[in-house]
Amino acid sequence: MKRSEQEKELSRRTIGRRGLVIGGLQLAFAGTLLWRLREMQLNQSEEFRLLAEENRINLRLLPPVRGLILDRNGVLLAGNEQNYRVVIKRDDVGDIDLVLGRLAQLIPLTEDDIERTRRDMLRNRPFVPVTVAERLSWEEISRVAANAPALPGVTPEMGLSRLYPLRQDTAHVVGYVGPVSERDLEALETPDPVLMIPRFQIGKSGVERMAEDRLRGRAGSQRVEVNSVGRVMRELDRVEGTPGANVHLTIDAKLQNYALERLHGQSAAAVVVDVTNGDILALASGPSFDPNMFVRGISTTNFNELLNNDYRPLVNKTVQGMYPPGSTFKMVTGLAALEDGVTDGQETVFCPGHMDVSGNRFHCWKRGGHGRVGLVSALAESCDVYFYEMAQRCGIDKINAMSTRLGLGIRYDLPITSVAGGLNPTREWKRNNRNAEWRIGDTVNASIGQGFVLSTPLQLAVLTARLATNRAVLPRLVRDPLERSDRELASLDLRPEWLRMIRQGMNQTVNDRRGTAYSSRVVADGQTMAGKTGTSQVFSITRAEREAGIRRQEDLPWNRRNHALFVSYAPYDNPRYAVSVVVEHGGGGSSAATPIGRDIMLAALNDASPPLSAYPAPQRNRIEFEQREMEQRLRRPEDMRISRA
């Protein structure tokens, strides 16, 4: 079929026209593309550039080095140890089982470790290093490094982790660190970004927790370039952080160690306070625990063991434990009576062994009675009836006022967790808490530190320090190493003649043949100790029990026995230290707590090694034996690392 010229021309014109239409439409669309390109690349270029940078640049925090905690002589209580660990990257490892098998021949690895490592590796992205083992020794890490060619993907690494070189010695004071928990983060309004660093640890208890802000320091940062799956390509720049500040405690690590070891085998607490400035030299709560367990992640078994132990190792009994002070409270009652003017101290009271108050009979600890006693002999022989009488004369309000003045019932502001305030019971307190009116019997009970009165061992040490100095001694745990002069302590303004009688009573308690602590006297010159024993009942003795004859303490189950207490200060004529000891359910004060108090006092006075000559001659054989036995347990001086910082 031959096409006509006319038809050909029509075809050509149609195609030409329509072709131009199509070309026009395409040009219009291309214009749109160009406009869009210009819009994005010229007008919004800055925003897109910013987004691209955000994609690419990752800010990483560099954890700061935690500050050290040191004792008063610079002995390291909490430090940072080099932590050698081995990490592995799936990216480079090749045959996982083969490499882990080889690794297990070089370093101790359990089946669990291997299983966990394999799981972590598969769960994470291939370039994320997974920790295989931590806290390896230098030898172990060297073996891994030496065999590097056979261990593809395995890298030995070094980090810092918290270490408490004195282990259980200062566990209750220094506390421990642990990983940041959800609760920690919720408690803070604007959490420090450093807390988000994986495996970052913060103070969980004790000074570690309370001085967290000082110890933590400030994080540095590092800008790195990452790719789309987050792998770091290179470091762009880095800002170093500020390491945490060191904290200097008033604790004397050597004395602390001695005190804790002296409490060995008991559920007990001992406090040593420097009476001249309130420095707490020892704050021992036994039994203790190894805080390093918490840093490494304590096992449930170990934790339950600590939790279910009858002796409550996790509780800091020195500031947290509240005990009826018993006879150690009698100085308070005595001073209250003197200040109120209801007695001059010389006046004597007859003790028949009991006293009837509004139909109830209150007994003295000595069934036969003490006969006529004045304030000094009442303290020395710990006569209860004398103080029943004085308390009734001056009343509970006066006793409470004196108690507060002497440092009881006050919550001290110390940088350790769970500091308890004790209890000076008032009429109002009883109304609110016991829903009953105050009765005279309550006053009588309070006069000898029973009933509702509760004190902590630290408070009893402060009480003793205040009696010894007539100053408002305030306990102090942290000292600024730059602070040169000691702070001036306010006077308590108690009349010297009153205190003279009280101190004399305490002196006779220890040094008079009739005193309740005579067997624990110190014979060394210039180290004479004054003190007061106490025995506080945990359960009141029922009439039936009393009629059946008081059972011997040793026959009672442990947790029903009396608490044993002893407070003391020395030297008598120029007081330096105050010591308080509480032995939970230790039985009688003079037998359980007093020797401990004396030994710790002698340790404080003699650089943690009590000289045999300070003990009365007949006791020296036994003491020498005890000392030798204890030396086995004491930490050696070379174990106490002095930090250069």
Partner 1 sequence: MSYLEYNTKQMPSGLRKVLYLNWPLIFLLIMVASYGFVMLYSVAGGSLTPWADPQIKRFGIGLLVMFVVAFTPLWFWRSIAGIGYIVALLLLLGVEFFGTVGMGAKRWLLIGPFRLQPSELAKITTILALAAYYDWLGVKKVSHPLWVLVGALIALLPTLLVLRQPDLGTAMLIAAGGGVVIFAAGVHWAYFAALFGTIGGLVTAVMQSRGTEWQLLKDYQFRRIDSFLDPTLDPLGAGYHINQSMIALGSGGWSGRGFMEGTQARLNFLPEKHTDFIFTTLAEEFGFVGASSLLLLYMMILAVCLLTAIRTTNRFGALLVMGVIGNFFLYFAVNMAMVMGLAPVVGVPLPLVSYGGSAMIVLMVGFGLVHSAQIHRARLPS
How far apart are CB 57 and partner 1 at their closest, in Å? 9
Which residue among the candidates 161, 288, 327, 447 is catalytic per the annotation?
Answer: 327
Compare residues 20 and 196 and give the one whose CB is closer to partner 1.
Answer: 20
Is 321:269 a contact under the CB 8 Å cutoff? yes
Residue 618: other Cβ atoms inside 10 A: 8
Is 112:289 a contact under the CB 8 Å cutoff? no
How far apart are CB 27 and partner 1 at their closest, in Å? 7
Query: Residues 222 to 241: which contact partner 1 by CB under 8 A?
Result: 225-229, 233
The DSSP code sequence of 151-162 is: STTEEEEEEEEE
How far apart are CB 5 and partner 1 at their closest, in Å? 10
Residue in 327, 419, 341 with CA at minimum distance from that of residue 378 = 327
Amino acid at 95: D
Compare residues 2 and 367 and give the one whose CB is closer to partner 1.
Answer: 2
| DSSP code, position 437 | -
How far apart are CB 126 and partner 1 at their closest, in Å? 14
Helix, strand, or coil (residue 44): coil
How far apart are CB 128 and partner 1 at their closest, in Å? 17
Residue 204: other Cβ atoms inside 10 A: 20
Q: How far apart are CA 405 and CA 597, in angstroms?
A: 24
Compare residues 26 and 491 and give the one whose CB is closer to partner 1.
Answer: 26
- What does the angle CA 270 – CA 276 – CA 279 come to, to the nearest 5 degrees? 45
Beta strand 69-70 pairing with 247-248: parallel
* Binding range to partner 1, per CB under 8 A, among 20-28, 141-149, 416-424, 621-629: 20-28
Q: Among 11, 110, 433, 613, which residue interacts with partner 1 (rule: CB under 8 A)?
A: 11
Q: How far apart are CA 384 and CA 378, in angstroms?
A: 8
Active site residue 403: no
Rounded to 10°, the helix 384-394/396-405 angle is 100
Q: How far apart are CA 173 and CA 205, in angstroms?
A: 8
How far apart are CB 28 and partner 1 at their closest, in Å? 11
- 526 contributes a contact to partner 1 by CB under 8 A: no
Helix, strand, or coil (residue 221): strand
Compare residues 229 and 482 and give the one whose CB is closer to partner 1.
Answer: 229
Q: How far apart are CA 516 and CA 505, in angstroms?
A: 11
Q: How far apart are CA 151 and CA 572, in angstroms?
A: 69
- 487 contributes a contact to partner 1 by CB under 8 A: no
How far apart are CB 198 and partner 1 at their closest, in Å? 23
Q: How many residues make contact with partner 1 (CB under 8 A)?
A: 46
- 8 contributes a contact to partner 1 by CB under 8 A: yes
Query: Residues 34 to 63: which contact partner 1 by CB under 8 A?
Result: 34, 36-38, 40-42, 44-45, 47-49, 51-53, 55-56
- 125 contributes a contact to partner 1 by CB under 8 A: no
| DSSP code, position 310 | T
- 302 contributes a contact to partner 1 by CB under 8 A: no
* Binding range to partner 1, per CB under 8 A, among 4-12, 302-310, 345-353, 449-457: 4-12
How far apart are CB 62 and partner 1 at their closest, in Å? 23
- What does the angle CA 179 – CA 290 – CA 283 come to, to the nearest 5 degrees? 105
Number of residues in the chain: 645
Q: Among 14, 73, 302, 404, which residue interacts with partner 1 (rule: CB under 8 A)?
A: 14
How far apart are CB 293 and partner 1 at their closest, in Å? 43
Handedness of CA 370, 375, 380, 383 (dihedral sign): positive
* Binding range to partner 1, per CB under 8 A, among 22-30, 393-401, 505-513, 536-544: 22-30
Q: How far apart are CA 602 and CA 521, in angstroms?
A: 11
How far apart are CB 59 and partner 1 at their closest, in Å? 16
Handedness of CA 421, 426, 428, 429 (dihedral sign): positive
Strand partners, 280: 273
Phi, psi of 198 (to 5 degrees): -60, 140
Q: Which long-range contacts (CB under 8 A, 24 or more apart) does 616-619 make?
A: 616/521, 616/523, 617/523, 619/519
Q: How far apart are CA 387 and CA 289, in angstroms?
A: 40
Helix, strand, or coil (residue 321): coil
Q: How far apart are CA 345 and CA 354, in angstroms?
A: 21
- Which letter, b or e, does each residue of 630-640 get, where b requires 16 or more Cβ atoms within 10 Å of its Cβ? eeeebbeeeeb
Report the interface residues with partner 1, using CB under 8 A.
1-3, 7-8, 10-12, 14-16, 18-23, 26-27, 29-30, 32-34, 36-38, 40-42, 44-45, 47-49, 51-53, 55-56, 225-229, 233
Which residues have a catalytic role annotated?
Answer: 327
